[in-house]
Amino acid sequence: MRHSSKRARRKQLRRKISAFSAVLRSSRPGIHYTATIHATLTPEPSGPYDPDEIADRVRTALRITAAAAVRDQDPIDLPAAQDACAQQLRRPKKLLSFRA
């Protein structure tokens, strides 16, 4: 982890989780959904932390949640898949310790 100011770390973390893509499997083989996930981290980590590590953990957790939400959705009914995914992603998630 590079030594940087609290503001620089916070800005870097926000940039890395504010919008990221995910490719999610559907219930039909060979058909996938693509999604752009927008995340917010609250409360923000305190003390020294590695923005890359936290961003990786946030993106991984949300991609897993989104994948589980649409796994059984029929790709013919795209609005239902979008609703299921949004419903799951709207719920607050807990990450374990932020300490590096």
- Per-residue pLDDT 10s for the chain (100 aa) are 555 788 888 899 999 999 999 999 988 889 899 999 999 888 878 778 899 999 999 999 999 999 999 988 888 999 999 999 999 999 888 876 544 4
- Give the tokens for residue 100: 């590096």
Q: How far apart are CA 83 and CA 32, in angstroms?
A: 16
Provide the whole-model pTM: 0.82
What are the helix and strand counts (H, E) for the chain? 3, 2
Within its chain, how far is the Cα of 9 from the centroid? 18
